[in-house]
Amino acid sequence: MAFELPPLPYPNNALEPYISAKTLDFHHGKHHKAYVDNLNRLVEGKPEEKKSLEEIIVATHRDDAKTGIFNNAAQVWNHTFFWNSMKKGGGGEPEGELKRAIDHDFGGYDKFAAAFKDAATTQFGSGWAWLVFDAGKLKVIKTANAVNPVAGGAAALLTCDVWEHAYYLDYQNRRPDFVQAFLDHLINWEFVAHNFDKARGQRG
Ligand code: MN3
């Protein structure tokens, strides 16, 4: 069975005014779809055809002969994770266990937000900013192009796409304004908390 483009988890105008319907239409309907289509073309008739995205990412991330498969599989995974990282009326501070963990590992929400914004704005060129759970600790990391934490052993909890196509129509070159809107108005902390619970369960 071929890989499929998952539908957005909300209507295309749900994240306005922070991300426009036009941006979501292009980003999901053109960019994300292109990664799905490219991946299906690249794995047709190959062993990867029957594997999960995660299995493909782990198996190809260090294989120079399979860069195309890795890039497209990782970008399919990353974008689905990114859509789920946001919701209408999201953002601001988390609650409960996650708040306690952020206070403990970063020294407070403001320090987490500053670290995330720094990672997202200093990623040179295209890439992603992440909140991950790694060796019992929350960390902020950034990755280039399609690279994600899936093959590295850290559990992804949250991501923000900082490729220009994620924000250019709405913010032009003002990446910091896009990242600030993501932090203040878009983060789906329930999704992050679900990933955090799952990651701790696997390690506990
Ligand atoms: Mn993108």
3 domain residue, yes or no: no
Specify the CATH number for the domain of residue 32: 1.10.287.990
Cα(73) to centroid of ligand 1, in Å? Answer: 13
Clarify whether residues 63 and 130 are in a common domain.
Answer: no
Considering 64, 84, 104, which residue would you say is the last residue of a domain? 84
pLDDT tens string 171-184? 999 999 999 999 99
| Cα 51 to Cα 71: distance, rounded to the nearest angstrom | 15
Residue 170 in this model has a pLDDT that exceeds 90: yes
The model's confidence at residue 153, banded by pLDDT at 50, 70 and 90, is: confident
Specify the CATH number for the domain of residue 125: 3.55.40.20
| Cα 39 to Cα 34: distance, rounded to the nearest angstrom | 8
8 domain residue, yes or no: no
Phi and psi, residue 75, nearest 5°: -70, -35
Phi and psi, residue 93, nearest 5°: -90, 145
Residue 204 in this model has a pLDDT that exceeds 80: no
Report how many domains make up the chain.
2
Clarify whether residues 71 and 124 are in a common domain.
Answer: no
Higher pLDDT, 203 or 41: 41
Range of the domain at 31: 21-84
156 domain residue, yes or no: yes
* Closest CA relative to residue 54, chosen from 36, 23, 37, 76: 76
Cα(175) to centroid of ligand 1, in Å? Answer: 13
Cα(75) to centroid of ligand 1, in Å? Answer: 8
11 domain residue, yes or no: no
Q: Per-residue pLDDT averaged across 121-145, rounded?
A: 97
User: What predicted TM-score, i.e. pTM, was given to this entire model?
Assistant: 0.97
Clarify whether residues 76 and 173 are in a common domain.
Answer: no
Clarify whether residues 195 and 111 are in a common domain.
Answer: yes
Clarify whether residues 186 and 113 are in a common domain.
Answer: yes
Which CA distances in Å does 144 have to 76, 95, 181? Answer: 15, 30, 21
1 domain residue, yes or no: no
- pLDDT at residue 1 in the model: 63
Clarify whether residues 70 and 164 are in a common domain.
Answer: no
Cα(26) to centroid of ligand 1, in Å? Answer: 10
Clarify whether residues 106 and 191 are in a common domain.
Answer: yes
Cα(153) to centroid of ligand 1, in Å? Answer: 23
